[in-house]
Amino acid sequence: MDLERFFIWQDWPVEKQKMFFAALVAAWALVLFMIWSGLNESQSKAVRIMLSSKQKYSKTVPLVEELKAGETSRGALVDREPMTAAQQVIRDLGLDLRLTSLRPLQAGANSDQGVQVILESLNMPELVALLRDFSVRGGLKVTNFNISHRLDSPELADVQIILTR
């Protein structure tokens, strides 16, 4: 191999060599730009994914905390008498001002203890939360449930619930 002819552009005219090296520098710059733009795009996509994950996380955190609180309070009032458990559930939900009557009763011959609860002016979310907490926190079962709409405001209802354990 002849060292004088090692580079192919040595025999080319000077203008052609300048054009070749300019094209080589331009191609190198284009390759570097493509690598940079790919890395930049992947970084911006990673940032978008991170922000999306943070947004999803911020939406789910309250739900998880509520579930954890529900799990820790599950059966928290089971060891109490049904009357006391019902009073505590009503108090915790802030419905004690709407409580009309809370009285004990005997639920038949099997001598299970029971409670009759009468509440006024409940909306649907309050009613659902009340029934859920009676079951989950108090360990109480609904044996009788009467609901009547209020004439003064149709979106509210009066309820009579008989609970037993």
58-114 pLDDT tens trace: 999 888 887 777 666 676 788 888 999 999 999 999 999 999 999 998 755 555 688
Domain limits for position 59 = 14-73
CATH of the domain at 93: 3.30.70.60
| The token pair that represents 30 in the structure block | 């284009």
pTM value is 0.56
The overall longest dimension of the chain from CA atoms, in Å, is: 116
- Residue 69, CA atoms < 13 Å, CB-side half-sphere: 7
For residue 38, the tally of other CB atoms under 10 A from its CB is: 10
| Shared-domain flag, residues 134 and 152 | yes
Of the three residues 50, 73, 96, the one that is the final residue of a domain is: 73
| Shared-domain flag, residues 33 and 107 | no
| Shared-domain flag, residues 160 and 86 | yes
Tell me the pLDDT of the chain averaged across its residues: 88
pLDDT in tens, 31-66: 999 999 999 999 999 999 999 999 999 999 888 887
| Shared-domain flag, residues 93 and 148 | yes
Task: Give residue 56's Cα distance to chain centre.
Answer: 8
Please check whether residue 45 lies inside any domain of the structure: yes
DSSP H or E stretch at residue 101: strand 99-107
Q: Give the sheet arrangement for strand 157-164, strand by strand.
A: 99-107, 112-122, 157-164, 141-149
| Shared-domain flag, residues 94 and 157 | yes
Rounded Cα–Cα distance for residues 111 and 132 (Å): 24
The candidate with the shortest Cα–Cα distance to 90, out of 82, 38, 4, is 82
Please check whether residue 6 lies inside any domain of the structure: no
Query: What's the domain count of the chain?
Result: 2
